[in-house]
Structure 1
């Protein structure tokens, strides 16, 4: 497929003769930060002062200033997301230009969250600066949903303007009568692209080992083109926040881990006794932190010869891209030329056959370098992936290795006046994933490389931080599971919208997936609603009744039978969760009844609509009550009770039903709370049953939520109940620390809650990161037992994790330690403790669980006593 893509490559060398061309870096004095829709502006988390946008609007504007109904805890700061300005007709901003000779760095902020009286899902806009169209038919809501982001930042590098003002024109697009924006940044930028106009050349390569002949040439002026930033990553290092950027440009540099193909390479940091010397390179090009870390192939020569260190990025087709490499050699001890030599590939074509960092640095160790390569990606076969690879070169090189310190990717108009791309959709990304699955080798692969040796392993916990920041979850799935053929027992998915109930059952041949027919048993165990009943219950799906949005679609509060409150989940045709998930939820929940599982009342499948009706959980999700600024702050006792309730529900799924049921999407948003604060596990659309678990696992395509996903499951595609245990361990730390499972705005080691909490637990300083609301309120022994339980859940190998039954009983023991700090326990508990005299912990409830599980199964009423968990005997239902 990639041979069909026209690739144009060239590099720009940085030489000392250009030093005089470097413009001085500008600072905040020439910057303008506008909090759109705000009366007074404010200060953000990076201490930037944001002004109100009111005085920059053209006269006669009829826009509306408003505030979000609530702010998600993952939003980085209050400003500029505390307000938004909505437009119902074409409107312009006129921003003063203080330097008409410098480029303008423009950032646009969008926060597509619910606003009073405005439905952002119906907002589409076009945005232009002068004659340059930056956005067309742009939906911040669709983009955020498709890329799993809460907010969208679009960044542009514009050519100098001759006018004293920069006009930004915003227009509702097409039939949309609504446009909005949350913030605007305008910064005078120094000359980031210096040097003579490059000659863009196309190369061909037959075997990936030798540079090809030049087949075409043309001159392209990077200076004269407007650009959109696509990606900016600190390779091998951690997230660099805007306040730590150089030159007053307030750029964010993200962790590269989500983009690394196969999870390969190792991050290396510069030793403290070395000093970076910018020499010919202006310091504003990238901050020191970019050059103080790198990703290396490693130091095993035999291994390095057999693979490429590769990154994969999702881009818009039919555009030209500037790929900027940042290098700084601090790992080579020798100052001799030919010590570290490697090749650079872009989309399978060789961009440069020999990069010799020692030679390029002229013997000056730890000297930053940049090189730019220009490539054109056409859309002949719908490909929109940009592959970047490095590989050792030179038979006499001292090190068989290759490194990269930083990467930037800019989209340029390619001679047009538009930089606007299409709105991303999850369905398009998944189609790409399905296409890529059947391929055998990535671009740039060497013909003599052993195909069987190229395994793909991705470390989820560290990768997912960038996922949240860049919205590349789908890309990560594509590259990590590419070439993984579905086995005979693997599931297939479909987004078909054919009816599956009544007289119009679909078959596998129609849907392209497995059977999508609801069993008569499932249909008879729950109520069928007509679409008219559903519309009446939700007031025709009134947006004011929306109480949540998930992967399947929106959830509405509704009323049926006059006074019964229900939660109604309506499918979204653009969602990745379609017919299969709808059927699975019905099949699962119609047959399950447990105090700690959400109850399915019924469903509707009519007129291409798929709707599920549940008991109404008045207190919403567990997540809503954990993070600062949300609903009721839960006490430690409440949190323990909720954790125990959820564990009871999962334990029942694993052991109490006819077959083992693996939830596969355990997270804090799938634990609901009713009016009595009873926890109920919900959302069974991704669940799998294990009717034949004698192999210990079910082979299946990986599904789940990043941050919670079991890395062993991701690597091996073998699902076990221990995958739920891992996800639940993340939830336990989430409950303790009151922070999201992923937060890309933190340092690299803190992005993943699982990694961070485990590191603190092992260092003995876990108390430093727990929720401040809980400080001094947790019994130390209780905290110790709770943390140990969570730690065991997150063991790398599933076999080393406890069962959900063991988790449950340890949590119940932790609750007793909290309620009885003096160690007083009930008589029945003391008696039961005598069952296992070999247990290391004389008060361990695991021993009691193992000895009394058979007694529990005799009780079929689903009730529980004050301490002990009980499962429902399936034979008694």
Structure 2
């Protein structure tokens, strides 16, 4: 078991600049999870284009689109339901069927007011009567622009998938319905809009949105809050040191997916994997139940047991992020997770934000999350992290970003093949964080002191 006095760390963050005036919020979470309560207020899964109820591999039932209770606003009555010519490699439901149109169409969902997850499922494939058309389109949810001039093919290739999900968070105000509108990009010949599945799930109001102040890194005001009029787009959700956690195993039926961190770990020598499925998980508040499933807190990655080695490297993860430039700034010169939480084994939240602005011709860069010990404060040389989430925040109700570039498809050569042990750090600016954990980006950082 790890000594509970190993608690001090310095958190370094970054100022981030991008072609969109957006913000990243670092939602830094220190939590110990356990049995979670059920949260089932709005839980909608619509299999778009389907004429009958669909059953996914995870056991969830997806409602039929044809004659569904969700009124479809289609002024020209031009949208069609269809099926993909080629079956996806991942789950057929909801990817195999589709609703698509060369004209605008809208789904109207009667939901309770409050904050919601919206997940849009896309499978870029050939569809009858649309095989030679171009899918460039926008998506709006009430007043929020989620996607603009969006092309699914490069996004799928960038993610290394055939079918993929785009996840958003937004607030539905009292008396509102949730209208999700798909519209082809104007001026693009033969453009059309499509969607394979729509999922809507409720979340606790204060899971990501809070009136409590948090540090705004690099700002003279240095205090901010995340209000419910801001929309969020998920960039990454990671189970550090553990395996993929499927949506049905998420806490409180919010159906979040948690990916392994193996792909993103760039510096990890020797990097110790920690596992403890017998730990007693405790909470100080109800909101702590919803931060992450038990599996996230039962696994972790630390720096290892070699004090000398640990003091000479940063345990680092790199996350590719839309059009950014990173310059290191310190968010916390000293962080004491035990003092924050009031004792070992109790949850605490720490939030940080940075701003994205234009910076020359900078293209895709990386957000780096690095952990480094501060032995002069604690006498120990280690760091630990259980999980993290990175979100992009809207500005002026807009979350849209440019489509990713499609890299050329060339066979690997001896000169270009990367080592398999860790990712290359070439041309990456690291955001260092010193011990216990550090985060860059609207991260939900999750810590559990084993």
Which TM-score bucket, shorter chain as reference? 0.7 to 0.9
Q: Give the secondary structure class of the aligned counterpart of 2:371.
A: strand
| Aligned CA distance change for structure 1 residues 385 and 713 (closer, same or farther; 3 Å) | closer
Report the counterpart of residue 193 of structure 1 in structure 2: 208
For residues 79 and 119 of structure 1, the distance between their equivalents in structure 2, rounded to whole angstroms, comes to 21
Report the counterpart of residue 67 of structure 1 in structure 2: 83
Larger Rg: 1
CA-to-aligned-CA distance 1:465-484 (integer Å, 9 cap, x gap): xxxxxxxxxxxxxxxxxxxx
**Residue 155 of structure 1: how far off its partner (Å):** 0.4
What is the aligned counterpart of 1:225 among 220, 227, 230? 230
Unaligned runs of 5+ in 2: 1-12, 425-450
Is 2:329 aligned against 1:349? yes
| Aligned CA distance change for structure 1 residues 81 and 278 (closer, same or farther; 3 Å) | same
For residues 284 and 152 of structure 1, the distance between their equivalents in structure 2, rounded to whole angstroms, comes to 24
Report the counterpart of residue 118 of structure 2 in structure 1: 106
For residues 133 and 310 of structure 2, the distance between their equivalents in structure 1, rounded to whole angstroms, comes to 48
Contact 1:155–1:229 (CA<8 Å) still a contact in 2?
yes
What is the aligned counterpart of 2:191 among 169, 177, 197? 177
Report the counterpart of residue 391 of structure 2 in structure 1: 410
**TM-score for both structures, normalised by structure 1:** 0.42
When the two structures are aligned, how many residues end up with a matched partner?
Answer: 394
What is the aligned counterpart of 1:284 among 269, 280, 290? 290
Contact 1:702–1:713 (CA<8 Å) still a contact in 2?
no
Report the counterpart of residue 37 of structure 1 in structure 2: 49
| Aligned CA distance change for structure 1 residues 391 and 311 (closer, same or farther; 3 Å) | same
Q: Give the secondary structure class of the aligned counterpart of 2:63.
A: strand
Q: Which has the higher contact order (CA 8 A, sep 6+)?
A: 2
| Aligned CA distance change for structure 1 residues 424 and 201 (closer, same or farther; 3 Å) | same
**Residue 227 of structure 1: how far off its partner (Å):** 0.6
Contact 1:157–1:228 (CA<8 Å) still a contact in 2?
yes
After TM superposition, list the pairs within 5 Å mapping 1:407-806 onto structure 2.
407-414=388-395, 416-427=396-407, 575-577=408-410, 700-702=415-417, 711=420
**Residue 15 of structure 1: how far off its partner (Å):** 11
For residues 143 and 59 of structure 2, the distance between their equivalents in structure 1, rounded to whole angstroms, comes to 34
For residues 373 and 291 of structure 1, the distance between their equivalents in structure 2, rounded to whole angstroms, comes to 21
| Aligned CA distance change for structure 1 residues 314 and 72 (closer, same or farther; 3 Å) | same
Contact 1:269–1:293 (CA<8 Å) still a contact in 2?
yes
**If each structure's helix is expressed as a fraction of its own residues, which one has the higher value?**
1
CA-to-aligned-CA distance 1:269-292 (integer Å, 9 cap, x gap): 343442111233521111111111
**Residue 201 of structure 1: how far off its partner (Å):** 3.0
What is the aligned counterpart of 1:259 among 246, 252, 264? 264
| Aligned CA distance change for structure 1 residues 234 and 11 (closer, same or farther; 3 Å) | closer
Contact 1:390–1:402 (CA<8 Å) still a contact in 2?
yes
After TM superposition, list the pairs within 5 Å mapping 1:2-401 onto structure 2.
5=16, 26-27=39-40, 30-54=42-66, 55=68, 56=70, 57-58=72-73, 60=75, 61-73=77-89, 75=90, 77-97=91-111, 99-100=112-113, 102-119=114-131, 122-174=134-186, 175=188, 176-191=190-205, 192-193=207-208, 195-203=210-218, 215-217=220-222, 219-264=224-269, 266-280=271-285, 281-317=287-323, 348-365=328-345, 367-381=346-360, 382-383=362-363, 384-401=365-382
**Residue 5 of structure 1: how far off its partner (Å):** 4.5
For residues 294 and 172 of structure 1, the distance between their equivalents in structure 2, rounded to whole angstroms, comes to 44
Over aligned residue pairs, what C-alpha RMSD do you find? 3.2
**If each structure's strand is expressed as a fraction of its own residues, which one has the higher value?**
2
Q: Give the secondary structure class of the aligned counterpart of 2:263.
A: helix
For residues 91 and 370 of structure 1, the distance between their equivalents in structure 2, rounded to whole angstroms, comes to 40
| Aligned CA distance change for structure 1 residues 217 and 6 (closer, same or farther; 3 Å) | farther
Q: Give the secondary structure class of the aligned counterpart of 1:38.
A: coil
Q: Give the secondary structure class of the aligned counterpart of 1:168.
A: strand
**Residue 239 of structure 1: how far off its partner (Å):** 0.7
**TM-score for both structures, normalised by structure 2:** 0.79
**Residue 71 of structure 1: how far off its partner (Å):** 1.4
